Each structure stands twice: as structure tokens, then as C-alpha cells.
Amino acid sequence: MRFILLAFLIFPAFAEAQFLSEERLLARLKPGPIPEEIMSKRTVVLHTGSISNKDVATIHEGMVRAGIDAVAYFATDQILAGGDAEKAYNKYFNRREISCILFIQKRTSGFTAYLTLYNSKPDFVDAGQTAWSTSASTLSQLTNDIYRSALSAYQKKNLLINEVAETDLPVKIIEGSRSETFAYDLKVDNLAIPKFSDTVATRELSEIFKSYPLRYQLTDNSVAEKELRNKGFLYVLCVVHARGGIAKELLGYAVTQSESAFVSVTYPATEVQLKNIPADTEVYKFYVRHIDSGNVFLGTKWDADTNWQQALQNFIKGMKAEMKLN
């Protein structure tokens, strides 16, 4: 058994404070045996975004051969795109009775697989839980390693395995309605702004919100939304952080495979500008959600940007212009 210890990468303050990532998630794991449940219960496969559909077909062929019931395939950054995404995929995995997670990373040097249990919570794995890992230069070698190791450890009990990989499965992260407008009720209602764990990022957040002309309050990011509602907050600021195409799809925007870039409305100064951002570039997109109904207000323009500070300013400035606020 080979296990690669992943060091924490240096992320922008916002990403470090607010988001899970593939690297940070895997850094929680420690070496251990293949979970026994892998041969008798359902598994979800989470993979690097650069994994192609052809790669997925190769992986699934290996899973069928090994007796692993891989019932769904998702890009890891898709499920880790922010709080609303993580909650939605957590509910979906629980509904499908997922017991195990197979992470597959694609790097220039080859492929690495991690097999571990799913903790049934929105953070997917616990700190310190065990995982089995192996690496290979090709996917065929990787799936052969999984096949040999799984069958040598446990008896195959999964008998009804779908021969075709399930991909592109629709998982809604918006529970209520979506509106490509701003929430005009914010002229009277208080907006909750979750703080960051990082104090530097929180100070930066506070400074940016000095330009927000309506009622708001920075809140502890560990406070449940039910408690926020009890304190009188009707709306909460939310964000998606993912590759541009994934971010648009998660928020219900129409996306075609032929689109290689998206035009974003941005405010680097006082004047609005248009910015072309490649579809596979990670962006931040802010929006507001009504706590009771789950209704989401995305703003009138696609205003995502490559850093959270600019994306937040885009959202605030766009809102002020649309609602004619000083």
C-alpha cells in the first residue's frame, strides 16, 4: 500500500477560510486498509476536473471488474464549490445511500486513487480517518491495482453493478427559485455576511462592505442559518467557487460545450468593463439567498471574477447601479 502525504498548499485567504478543496480534503486522511464496505455497498467516484469521459469509462470498467458498485461520477471541484453545493451533494449522496468515496487524481506524473468511507456529512470525510491509496502511470494500471487489492482483501458481494458509468447527473444546489436580479427587499431587510476563519480576510471583507449602503452585519461563520433567522436575518450572502463552466451550471445558467470563455461584467474602478475569462479558469460568483424560502438572487449580470475581492465588489457595485443606490 502506498499513501501520499499531501502538504497544505498556499491558497488565497478566502479559499483557505471558506472552501474545502481536493488537496485539503485528502490531507485529512491517514494510511489505512481498503474499507470492507467497498465490496458490498455503494461508492461515489470524485475525480480531478481534467479526467475525460473516456477516462471515466476506463475507470468504470475497472470498478465493474473489481466488484465495486460505483453509482455516480463527479468532478471533485463541482461538489466542493461552496456551502450550498456541499450541502446539496451531501443530501444527494445520503439519498443514494453512498458508503464509500473513491478519489481519483490526474497529475502530469500519472494517477492516484484514494479509497475511504463517506462520513454522511457536508464535509464528506473526517479529519484523521483512514484511506487506502495507490498510484500508477496509467489508468489501466491504477484500476488493476485496485482490482487486485480489493479482491485479495474481501469477498465480492456487489452483484448488480451498472455496466455504464453514471455521469452528468443533475444535482440542484438551489432549493427555491432562481432570479437573475437583485433582492429589492434588502432595502429594508438585514443581510448576514459570514465571517472568515482567517482574520486578515475578515478585515478585508469588512473593508469592502463599507461601500454597501444597506443594512448588514458580519456574523460568525459557525452559526446555523436557523439561528441567523431567529436573530432577524432574512438573507445571507453566498458564493460559488469553481471553474467558470461548473459555476454557471451549478447556478442554473445555460452553458454549451462550445463555449471556451465567458464574458464577465467587472468594476476594476468606477466604470463597468467586460472581461473574457476562460471557461476552465476558477472564478468566484457571489449571490444572495433568502433563508426561509431558499430563493436565490444572482444579480442581473454574470459578474464572476478570478479573485474573491473583485467578484464581491462586482456584485455590490452592480447592485448599487441596478437599484440606484448611493
The model's confidence at residue 278, banded by pLDDT at 50, 70 and 90, is very high
More confident residue, 14 or 132: 132
pLDDT of residue 13: 34
Band of residue 176 on the pLDDT scale cut at 50, 70, 90: very high
Average pLDDT of the residues in 154-179: 93
Residue intervals in the chain for CATH 3.40.50: 13-153
Inter-residue contact 31 to 131 (CB < 8 Å)? yes
Cβ atoms of residues 248 and 281 within 8 Å:
no
pLDDT, position 18: 55
Could you tell me which CATH number the domain at 13-153 has?
A: 3.40.50
The answer on pLDDT for 6 being more than 60 is no
Does residue 12 carry a pLDDT above 50?
no
Mean pLDDT on 172-189: 96
Helices 308-322 + 199-208 axis angle, to 10: 20
What are the phi and psi torsion angles at 315 (to 5°)? -65, -45
| DSSP string computed for 127-184 | TT-EEEEEEESSHHHHHHHHHHHHHHHS--------SS---S----S--S-EESS--G
Tell me if residue 279 falls in helix, strand or coil.
coil
**3-class state of residue 90 by DSSP:** helix
SS (H, E, C) 227-274: HHHHCCCCEEEEEEEEEHHHHHHHCCCCCCCCCCEEEEEECCCCCCEE
295 or 326, which is more confident?
Answer: 295
Task: Please give the pLDDT value at position 16.
Answer: 42
For the chain, the C-alpha Rg in angstroms (whole number) is 21
The reported pLDDT for the residue numbered 160 is 87
Q: What is the mean pLDDT of residues 40-44?
A: 97
Residues 120-140 have pLDDT tens digits of 999 999 999 999 999 999 999
